[in-house]
Structure 1
């Protein structure tokens, strides 16, 4: 079995003010990686690997580095320390509605977004009807995206991204949105992708979803990796720690 994701001594820090990450001025001035006043390490010293076909759940309280880790794996953020190696393309089911253009129609957004994720025109044309049908947007294809309801926007985004052929799925709480019927469609679609041998890296607070999809878990606390174990053991440890605080 090959390695899909490898993380070695990973660290990333932020500033607590509006400037966010370090500026280019700081970088060119040779700014130290040691924390400065107003800075904090969102993650530090995190190491693990994920084999192809594994399903990994990431747990922890809010603000402990879970979504930051997911964005580092996705390539949205760059590490300040350590390395992230991803072997294969990723289908990012995170911030689903980001990247869609309000003034473009549903049809135009589907073609643009799928193309940006690497689909050829022929692939988009072949899967277009399936994407529209899954999103339940028949009759809205020429509607500007900005006029869709929030539920419609989420359905459309999930439909497009879940059609990608990338071997690694990055999922961040997207199953918490939408109505019950749509969530069940999402569950079924993820089951299908896992049955194809995709790798799942799943951040969630929903224990039911974590136990359903994941066999292994990572427990993050204060930016560090507390436990890497079977998902039931990780959730038991997390729940025990949470109730004693």
Structure 2
């Protein structure tokens, strides 16, 4: 098999429409767990592709077609019901970006906690701490409880922490849709730096401008299945044609 950063084979994941959306532990360990129930639906089904090291992949599709679910499977936040996802190397996940922060802890304490959870050693956190705070523009709020930050400050802090990780694969889910223009421009420059350093990018966005800027290849998800895998320009043209034909929402 050719060298890859991410390999996906026959991937499928299903959710329940009621309660928390996933099956219970009883279902997981019972013989009926492999049979679909009336209240279940497949968020992804029979999805296969490879991502080579250093590629920049944009994932497109309407809302509810499985884009964010796919990123969570690659990040190992979710487990597949069918097929396999193999990831070579660590991931830096910008998914549900403010998740994992603790409201009553200060900015300083949250940086140490979240960076540590992502695998940074204490010495690495200490070495990168000033850069993280400078990037987030929170120098005056280092000892402020996280819960007192504005939403924009929280997003800046989360991006600053995760973008400092040295993992080879960067997963980005709509993070550039938030924040003011100055912060977005700073994020763009940081992603450009990471791509220039040879990182692999797996990028979910509804922004055609951002997709064309950062990505060379696209995956188009429709109905939880891979409708097209090709150059980002061709994939966006196909997606836009479907949308304009009345298939989008």
TM-score for both structures, normalised by structure 2: 0.97
1:115-151, Cα deviation, whole Å (9 max, x unpaired): 1111111111111000000000011100000000000
Structure 1 residue ranges without an equivalent (≥5): none
Aligned residues: 245
Structure 2 residue ranges without an equivalent (≥5): none
Please give the residue correspondences for 1:69-108 in structure 2 after superposition, counting only pairs within 5 Å.
Answer: 69-108=70-109
2:159 is paired with a residue whose SS is helix
| Residue matched to 2:7 | 6
Shift of 1:32: 4.3
| Residue matched to 2:188 | 187
Shift of 1:35: 2.1
Name the CA distance, whole Å, in 2 between partners of 1:168 and 1:66: 17
Indicate yes or no: 2:166 matched with 1:162: no
Please give the residue correspondences for 1:1-245 in structure 2 after superposition, counting only pairs within 5 Å.
Answer: 2-245=3-246
**Aligned alpha-carbon RMSD (Å):** 0.8
Name the CA distance, whole Å, in 1 between partners of 2:34 and 2:203: 29
1:71-128, Cα deviation, whole Å (9 max, x unpaired): 0000000000000000000000111110000000000000111111111111111110
Name the CA distance, whole Å, in 1 between partners of 2:67 and 2:211: 14
Name the CA distance, whole Å, in 1 between partners of 2:144 and 2:3: 44
TM-score for both structures, normalised by structure 1: 0.99
Name the CA distance, whole Å, in 1 between partners of 2:141 and 2:241: 48
2:229 is paired with a residue whose SS is strand
